[in-house]
Each structure stands twice: as C-alpha cells, then as structure tokens.
Amino acid sequence: ETLEFFRVLWGVAAARGAEGTVREHVGVCYDVCHQAVEFEEPHECVAALDRAGVRVNKVQVSCAIELLAPAENRAGREALRPFVEPRFLHQLFARTRDGRTVGAVDLSHDFLNDPGPDFATAEAWRIHYHVPVNAERLGPLGTTRASLPPALAAVALLPYAPHVEVETYTWSVLPGEGSRDIVTGLAHEIDATQRLLDAAR
C-alpha cells in the first residue's frame, strides 16, 4: 500500500514539475511495532522501501504486545483485560494456523469474551498497544521486541541516517499498581535503544 501511494504521488509530482523535490523531502515515518503487529518482517519492509526509492525519514522504535497460542494461554488472555482502555485504539491482528492475517479494530472486553473462530484458534495475537521497548515480557504476555534488531539493522544499511525516536506514548494508561517513575522508564528505554543501535552498526 505504501509503495503504491508513492507511485501515485510521484506521478502527480512529475506532472507538476516537482518530482525531484518530493522524492528528496517526502518519505515515511516507519514505526516498527506497526509493521510487527501485522506480522510483516521489518527488514524486508525497509529493504523494499529502499529498493523503490522511498525515503525512510523517521524510524519510531516501538514494541507492541504479543500473545502466543491464545487458545491454550488462558493466563495470557486474562492478562490482556487490564490493557482495555478507551483513550487509544489498540488494533489486534492474528496469524491463523493456515497462514492468514486477520484483524480487529480494538481490544475490548467483548472481544476477549468472544474473539471469533479465526482469533480463537490462531497461532498468535499481536496488539497495537505501545509498551516499553526494553520489555521482552509482561507477565504471561510477550512483546514484539524481537522485531527491533532486524529493523534497525536494515535501517543501518540505508545510505542516509533517518531520525530515530523511541515512541512509547502509553505510560499514562499502562496497567499496574501505583504511580510510575516515567523518567526512569524513559531512561531505560533510551539506554536499550542505544544498545540496539550500537549492535546494528
């Protein structure tokens, strides 16, 4: 979809004599967990964008929630309930046992009570709920942190350096008891991201 968007954009820009300017300045903001929740491989996506000439102007380092084997993982399904909240949309995707990817608009109690057959029998669920990028697990839940090293390794191969930012905006709605030390949490995220960037060089 992104590649098709830029193909159309460049065509319109060319007709108006602005293709060079558009190609130089208009690019994508690549959010790692947005790709991960749809079960896309980040290194393949970044490479495809580069081959097509689409600039990656910004990389958002982010992690989402992952639930493996939801049919058998009752504790994991129940652990999702505190993440139901109305402020942000938390889209869900599942990888079915026959290899399809299916989606739902938002994490809700109704969904958790009755996810439907595709989700109920899926290999894994991924939920667009930004969680700290240094977290590999949240109790019985996993995260998409494993997508970060290949994504940043692919970005390191680009012939230019995109802007990189950590994008966990959900600190105010993360479940848990008591107040959070956001400064310490952010420092841990930035430190973890720096280590990933160092390893990608």
pLDDT in tens, 145-190: 999 999 999 999 999 999 999 988 888 888 875 567 889 989 999 9
Rg (CA), the chain: 18
Do residues 36 and 167 lie in contact, with contact meaning Cβ atoms separated by under 8 Å?
no
Look at residue 179 in the predicted model and tell me its pLDDT: 60
- State what percent of residues in the chain have pLDDT above 70: 99
**Phi, psi dihedral angles at 75 (to 5 degrees):** -60, -40
Look at residue 201 in the predicted model and tell me its pLDDT: 81
Do residues 127 and 92 lie in contact, with contact meaning Cβ atoms separated by under 8 Å?
yes
Report the C-alpha gap between 80 and 127 in whole angstroms. 9
What mean pLDDT is predicted for residues 44-59?
95
**Phi, psi dihedral angles at 13 (to 5 degrees):** -65, -40
Residue keyed to tokens 């009752």: 74
What mean pLDDT is predicted for residues 107-122?
94
Strands (E), the chain: 28-31, 56-61, 63-68, 92-95, 101-104, 124-131, 137-138, 141-143, 163-166
Look at residue 178 in the predicted model and tell me its pLDDT: 56
pTM of the model: 0.89
Angle (CA) 167-173-178 rounded to 5° is 120
Q: In the predicted model, what is the mean pLDDT of the chain?
A: 93
Q: Measuring CA to CA, how many Å separate 2 from each of 80, 157, 160?
A: 31, 20, 20
